Amino acid sequence: MTDATLPASEGGTPVRADFLPFAQPSIGQEEIDAVVDTLKSGWLTVGPRTRRFEEVVAEYIGVRGAAAVSSCSAGLHLAMVAFGVGSGDEVIMPVLNFAAAANMAIHLGARPVLVDVEPETLNVTAEILETGITRRTKLLIPIHFAGRPCEMEPILDLARSRNLKVLGDGAHAMGADNAGKKVGSAADATSFSFYVTKCVTTGEGGMVTSDDTSVTDKVAELSLHGMSRDAWKRYSDRGSWYYEIVDAGYKYNMSDIQAAIGLCQMRRIDELRNARDRIAHAYDEAFRDLSGVVVPTLRVNGHHAHHLYPIKVDPAILGVPRGAFIDSLKAEGIGVSVHFIPLHLHPFFRRHLGYAAGEFPITESYYERAISLPIYPAMTTKDVSDVIEAVTKLHNHYAR
Ligand SMILES: *Cc1c(COP(=O)(O)O)cnc(C)c1O
């Protein structure tokens, strides 16, 4: 007889026999049909579907400009180029971060200046960003962490008073809004990700939005080798063979196959966001009274996109370190992750930027306890209750 309360890692029965992945895309028949139609159309690369996808996203966000690119990283890169970031400049970003913005800044010869985050929201604030400003600062890059929108008004006021630009990293936050403004509308530009785990996916892909079309036009031009913007039409009956290279661009364009998926996902965006919202609230309800688990604050003045649901486990109460808790969840059949390993703890950034462990206490203390639970629309009611059961089972076994 195995004991149902005994962790599977110690020989008990796992909550699930089949493994629940940490993330899976929500792809329906509509997306499959749209890809097949695109393949049959004969036009696979950037073209009419990509242009339509840009219009749909611009209209949804409520901005004049949107430029589709191959990834959020590419979008961050090109927006930095459009803002004139170059050698010797500094760009300020949170240390609780993926490598994308920092790597892109380094490729441009700029220095990523890392700042800590606010403990409750895990976002940067204007006050925190201000601590990183020097006379070399050119750009502020706040992240809407986990899908929670940053308070943008004070950040924009700070930027205006110091003659800086604000580039939002919107990778987690398609669909989020704060104080009546969608993420992507309250910044000089915002780069979104359509990577497979993100709230809206095209498999791989990204989009830069801005109310200033000179920024998105520049991004679009740079995304296709610096060709004049309508050069994609050169193989169609509406285009001309003649084009001009007007800048040293990159090969960062989206394809119409990706855009076809994105158009379906944008039609479903409310459904997708509501599904994530329901899971977040089910977790909140289930975990709020577990003494060894701290749930994320969900309350926002608008909509949270819930790309991630990061709990914090308290090793003092659970008697096991975070890593052991993750291993035990895996043994129960639940895939989890950690967002993020703080940038300054990676060997490259440590070496290149000269930071040391201990410099960012809020991010480091969060990181030592953080576990991101599965949260995605393709989860069934049973998947959600299995996650709840596994976390509760392990918590109650280990708590003391
Ligand atoms: C996923 C992610 C990115 C990169 O997105 P890609 O589309 O894969 O380039 C950038 N920033 C953050 C915060 C992310 O989570």
What does the pLDDT look like over 27-63, one tens digit per residue?
A: 999 999 999 999 999 999 999 999 999 999 999 999 9
What letter does residue 84 receive in the DSSP assignment?
A: T
399 pLDDT above the threshold of 80: yes
Give the active site residue among 138, 198, 218, 393.
198
> Would you say the CB of residue 193 lies under 6 angstroms from ligand 1?
yes
228 pLDDT above the threshold of 90: no
Q: For residue 262, how far is its CA from the centre of ligand 1 (angstroms)? A: 16
> Would you say the CB of residue 73 lies under 6 angstroms from ligand 1?
yes
Q: Which residue has the higher pLDDT, 311 or 400?
A: 311
Residue with tokens 């977790």: 283
Confidence class for position 232, pLDDT limits 50, 70, 90: confident
Closest ligand 1 atom number to CA of residue 97: 13
Give the C-alpha separation, 125 to 232, whole Å. 40
- If phi > 0 it is left, if psi is from -120 to 50 it is alpha, else beta; for residue 223 that is alpha
1 pLDDT above the threshold of 60: no
Q: For residue 393, how far is its CA from the centre of ligand 1 (angstroms)? A: 33
Which amino acid would we find at residue 221? Answer: E
Q: Is residue 198 among the annotated active site residues?
A: yes
pLDDT digits (tens, 9 = 90+) for 152-199: 999 999 999 999 999 999 999 999 999 999 999 999 999 999 999 999
Closest ligand 1 atom number to CA of residue 339: 15
Beta bridge partners of 143: 169
Residue range 120-147: average pLDDT?
A: 98
Ligand 1 pocket test: which of 107, 193, 202, 337 has the largest number of ligand atoms within 8 Å of its C-beta?
A: 193
Residue range 321-327: average pLDDT?
A: 96
Closest ligand 1 atom number to CA of residue 143: 13
The share of the chain scoring above pLDDT 90, in percent, equals: 94
pLDDT digits (tens, 9 = 90+) for 349-394: 999 999 999 999 999 999 999 999 999 999 999 999 999 999 999 9
Query: How many CA atoms are closer than 13 Å to the CA of 157, on its beta-carbon side?
Result: 7
Closest ligand 1 atom number to CA of residue 204: 7
Helices marked H in the chain: 29-41, 48-61, 72-82, 100-107, 126-130, 152-162, 213-223, 256-267, 269-287, 315-318, 322-331, 347-353, 361-369, 381-398
> Would you say the CB of residue 65 lies under 6 angstroms from ligand 1?
no
Q: In what order do the strands lie in the sheet with 293-294?
A: 293-294, 309-313, 370-373
Ligand 1 pocket test: which of 77, 95, 169, 252 has the largest number of ligand atoms within 8 Å of its C-beta?
A: 169
Crossing angle of helices 48-61 and 256-267, rounded to 10°: 30
Confidence class for position 238, pLDDT limits 50, 70, 90: confident
Confidence class for position 297, pLDDT limits 50, 70, 90: very high
Q: For residue 117, how far is its CA from the centre of ligand 1 (angstroms)? A: 18
Confidence class for position 2, pLDDT limits 50, 70, 90: low
Give the C-alpha separation, 194 to 262, whole Å. 8
> Would you say the CB of residue 115 lies under 6 angstroms from ligand 1?
no
Beta bridge partners of 311: 371
Q: What is the pLDDT of residue 325?
A: 96
Q: Whole-number mean pLDDT of the chain? A: 96
Give the C-alpha separation, 15 to 387, whole Å. 9
Residue range 94-119: average pLDDT?
A: 98
241 pLDDT above the threshold of 90: no
